[in-house]
Structure 1
């Protein structure tokens, strides 16, 4: 084949491949993770106490994956998707009244306008529709949830546990991020969380060697 035609053919094939990869990365994908709020807090606080870790946001992947179940936690820990999303959170909080032996559950749903994950967690200047034409500043998920539960739960009931599911519909930042996501899922499937821990330890040692 003529060298110029061969070069043009390869360029066309490369462009087609890149287009397919970009389309694969864009999705959209529905990603979610389920977790017990109490188990998350207990596990992470115990890890921080055992290791001296100051920042809970730096909790290693294998620890996070042990308490958050689903694909979304992989994307958040490795920043594989844009962190500005229309987050949807459902929380079922379960209560018990020891005096009357009654139990009750309070389901709460949050469907958010697009905001960063940190804004969703800690608060934002964005105004959220509260219904009836009322819009007020988003105070962060913990404060918002606590305000609802304090208003809805009768006196005498003690919270037993809260189960939650966080979801978003998104694309990956790029094809490399999709590839990394699939690699981590395969690693967990084949080697479990111990495989994730060993990989991260190896990567950390390599980085230390590069710096030295």
Structure 2
């Protein structure tokens, strides 16, 4: 009888713990990252060429973390949150006119309905509200942004750089994802990006050893 009570108490405590963990994982959390579009493109492209990577998405974490600031990049690189989100992206594009010595900044903001991150980047069958009752298909960040800038920037201005912030309100996929997120943040605080690089090298070597 005593053993049954102990087992029942243990089961109750485990159920309570799992409930607390689920609540912690669910959030919601506001996650964001800031970056220079030009720096990201240059660093990722250079790394891709030097290491003969065909896919820019294969860029390792320590390289991505060096050009993106904020918590969101950790979640995206490690797939710790659902990729279907209501993404909010703000981009300030800075321009210069060499003839007149004028500078100008064009701010653009995209508040998206829920869509997959890759659809958000590259285009989706989903439609977005363009105002005045008009809804058309989302064509992806680059195409959408370039169309706005072509319309708003006068002739004679050259783009100097673009600074961006991407954010969303989300929960983690599960509690193990929240734990991994906190582990990576702690690793970066203690050992910097070099710590992330070394850890991923050890993991890769372990996987190779298992395959062999």
TM, length-normalised to structure 2: 0.99
> For structure 2, which runs of at least 5 residues remain unmatched after alignment?
none
CA–CA distance in structure 2, aligned partners of residues 23 and 48 of structure 1: 39
Query: 1:121 maps to what in 2?
Result: 121
Query: 2:141 maps to what in 1?
Result: 141
Residues 1-212 of structure 1 correspond to what in structure 2 (within 5 A)? 2-212=2-212
Secondary structure at the aligned position of 1:96 is classed as strand
TM, length-normalised to structure 1: 0.99
CA displacement, residues 73-120 of structure 1 (integer Å, 9 cap, x when unaligned)? 000000000000000000000000000000000000000000000000
CA–CA distance in structure 1, aligned partners of residues 2 and 49 of structure 2: 68
* Residue 48 of structure 1, CA deviation: 1.1
What is the alpha-carbon root mean square deviation over aligned residues?
Answer: 0.6
CA–CA distance in structure 2, aligned partners of residues 91 and 29 of structure 1: 22
CA displacement, residues 149-180 of structure 1 (integer Å, 9 cap, x when unaligned)? 00000000000000000000000000000000
* Residue 182 of structure 1, CA deviation: 0.1
CA–CA distance in structure 2, aligned partners of residues 131 and 59 of structure 1: 38
Aligned length: 212
Structure 1: 4+ residue segments shifted above 6 A: none
CA–CA distance in structure 2, aligned partners of residues 86 and 101 of structure 1: 39
* Residue 27 of structure 1, CA deviation: 0.3
CA displacement, residues 158-211 of structure 1 (integer Å, 9 cap, x when unaligned)? 000000000000000000000000000000000000000000000000000001
> For structure 1, which runs of at least 5 residues remain unmatched after alignment?
none
Secondary structure at the aligned position of 2:69 is classed as coil
